[in-house]
Amino acid sequence: MIGETLQLGLAGLGTVGSGVYETLCRNRELLEARAQISYAVKKVAVGNLARKRDVEIDPALLTDDWHELVEDPDIDIIIELIGGTDEAYQLVKAALEAGKPVVTGNKAVLAVYGSELFKLSAEKNVPLYFEASCGGGIPIIQSLQNSLICNKVQSIAGIINGTSNYILTSMKEQGLSLQEALANAQKLGFAEADPSFDINGWDAAHKALILAMLAYGTPLSPDKIHVHGIEKVESVDITTAEKLGYSIKLLVVIKHHEEDGALELRVQPSFVPQSHLLASVNGVFNAIAVKGDIVGETIFYGRGAGKNPTSSAVIGDIVLAMRECRLNGYHTGFQPYTKELAVLPMKETVTPYYVRFVIHDRPGMIASIATMFAKYDVSISATSSDFGYIDDEGVQHNNLIFMVHACKWQRLKYVLRELRENHIIDRLPVVFRIETFND
């Protein structure tokens, strides 16, 4: 039975919001038949009533005050798609306090305020759904909550920022510099006018925090994650990686260390073996590898952003919310279920490394650097060098590359610090982790 019509309140009519509204209207008959629930969009909150819309909508549905959605007793479910953090936080919090389930695609608000909002959701027994916050149309949230529910998640590794992945792919396939690839991404609409969060890694970090909270049932805040972006990736790194059998990807790594219960949380450009499926994820596509103690490794792949994939994920959550509105006392919205886990200090994390020095071409340089590696018991697996550039004063600079066996990050930091303090090198090297996916 379809029963009484559920009323929806939509906040935000931007790219994703307009896609959600259009689909809810266009596919209403199909959605109602599949969900066996009747629905209607009762009110839509926007920032500017006078703004021209890309979607046809009855002006009578519009308001410029989202409080009207929360305070309307007839509205059953709130859909938050306004973006940003502070105002979105106020909206989600108010809706949960009013007993209204919330569907959101806002990764930033969950990364910054997730611990508080999830706690409030649990206290009020009002669900918060957020499938679209991670990976666009990839159904990773529902998979972790349902399909993989019997697994202890050992690790999550993924490419979850389409803009950075497009840039790195363009650098590899077309031989472009980072700035040239970024300019192309902006022309094609794959990058914002201000791409800072994509380039510096924080867009991926926000998604990583959400995945970690979900996988391990623990509250986390942005200060817990180590983040490096792709700013220092150069063409020489791309080509060297390819020669050695790797691809460079902006990688999210979430790993649970059973021996001490600590979580490893980091985002950084990494060397990914070309034999691993993540290495072949190109362009704006995303992929997330989840390793469970029962299922082993699974890969989730698809478009990680954009109007249609994100709208698909949002509407999936809306249907889930509508169904669970009919089930008194039951919902699948996330609730933290363990105590706060310790986060492994970055100095204790262990991987192999790629280290590229840009040095003056002078005798004894390689031997001096190698001696410093040996002093701190950091083992070198291979070295190579090639021509870098000649500066304005006619001095030649070479790229000197060391491949380093797995060691704690702290030991490698000691090496690099002492090389700099002793003036053996003039500038900090470029360092990338090499992911092995063996543990």
Instruction: Return per-residue pLDDT of the chain as tens, 439 residues.
Output: 567 899 999 999 998 999 999 999 999 999 999 989 999 999 999 999 989 888 999 999 999 999 999 999 999 999 999 989 999 999 999 999 999 999 999 999 999 999 899 999 989 999 999 999 988 778 999 899 889 999 999 999 999 999 999 999 999 999 999 999 999 999 988 888 899 999 999 999 999 999 999 899 888 889 999 999 999 999 999 999 999 999 999 999 999 998 888 999 999 999 999 999 999 999 999 999 999 999 999 999 998 777 788 889 999 999 999 988 877 766 666 766 677 789 999 999 999 999 999 887 677 888 899 999 999 999 999 998 887 777 777 777 788 999 999 999 999 999 999 999 988 887 889 999 999 987 6
Q: For 6-139+308-325, CATH number?
A: 3.40.50.720
pLDDT the model gives residue 330 = 64
Name the residue ranges covered by the structural domains of the chain.
6-139+308-325, 140-303, 347-434
d(CA 416, CA 36): 62
Domain 140-303 maps to which CATH number in 2.40.170.20, 3.30.360.10, 3.90.79.10, 3.40.50.300?
3.30.360.10
**Angle subtended by helix axes 15-26 and 307-325, to nearest 10:** 60
Q: What is the C-alpha separation between 136 and 23, in angstroms, rounded?
A: 16
Alpha-carbon distance 230 to 177, whole Å? 12
Q: What is the 3-state secondary structure (H, E, C) of 40-54?
A: EEEEEECCCCCCCCC
**Active-site annotation, residues:** 207
d(CA 320, CA 86): 26
Report pLDDT for 425. Answer: 85
Provide the CATH number for the domain formed by 347-434 in this structure: 3.30.70.260
